[in-house]
Amino acid sequence: MNEESIAPSLEAITESSVATPPTQPPVPPANTDGGQPSTRKVQIIAWVALGIGIFALVLAVIPFVTFGSGLFILAGLIVSIIALAKARGPKGAAITGLILSLVAVPAAIVMTIVSIGLIGAAATTTLQSTLIEQQIASGISDQLGIDATVACPDSMTGSKGSTFECVATDPNGDSVIVDITVIDSVGGVTWKVRT
């Protein structure tokens, strides 16, 4: 046999006898965490809890916006507790989110009270002195039969419960003080002659 005839037959044997094993899909590692979520997922939940806690606290300290902060406070508390319950590693973000949500509760209460106070303060009214003077003079005339002249301050601005003093003078020159109390936000008043 010559060399040329042996080489091709060795190549044929090599190619036909060498078989590549079929490729298998990779086998996932066995679940050793007992079905618990991965540490990465819990960290994401903890950071979400922190973000909600920050947002809830910011909303809680803004007047009028504080009214809507309760939902975020509740969400921050729930998500923080879930993150703490599932955490197996660092718990800093979840704890901070929980603390911020807890701090937001009294902040929201205080700012709600402040907001309601601001609403009440905004309900001030400017009383029309001339109209009030006419009402008091007419009332004194009807009740006592005296034609009195009434003088009230030119500038009377107040909210419900505010009080002012006017002076009623009879034709003889005798004067009495009339106490005015604002009873609503549209300028309604009551008056009473001081005795």
pLDDT digits (tens, 9 = 90+) for 96-131: 999 999 999 999 999 999 988 887 666 677 788 888
Identity of residue 161 = G
17 within a domain of the structure (yes/no): no
| Full domain range(s) for residue 62 | 36-122
103 within a domain of the structure (yes/no): yes
116 within a domain of the structure (yes/no): yes
10 within a domain of the structure (yes/no): no
Return the structure tokens found at 134.
Answer: 């006419």
Look at the block and give the residue holding tokens 């009270």.
113
> Which residues, in sequence order, are CB contacts of 111 under 8 Å at separation 6+?
60, 61, 62, 63, 66
Burial tier of 1 (Cβ tally within 10 Å: 0-12, 13-18, 19+): exposed
Highest-confidence segment of 54-68, 114-128, 143-157: 54-68
24 within a domain of the structure (yes/no): no
31 within a domain of the structure (yes/no): no
Highest-confidence segment of 124-128, 153-157, 170-174, 187-191: 170-174
Tell me, yes or no, whether 55 and 79 share the same domain.
yes
Query: pTM of the entire structure?
Result: 0.50
When pLDDT is averaged across residues 123-148 and rounded to a whole number, the result is 86
pLDDT for 8: 55
When pLDDT is averaged across residues 141-160 and rounded to a whole number, the result is 87
- Domain end, chosen from 122, 140, 155, is at 122
In degrees and rounded to multiples of 5, residue 99 shows phi and psi of -65, -45
> In this structure, are residues 182 and 161 in contact, taking their beta carbons and an 8 Å threshold?
yes
Number of domains comprising the chain: 2
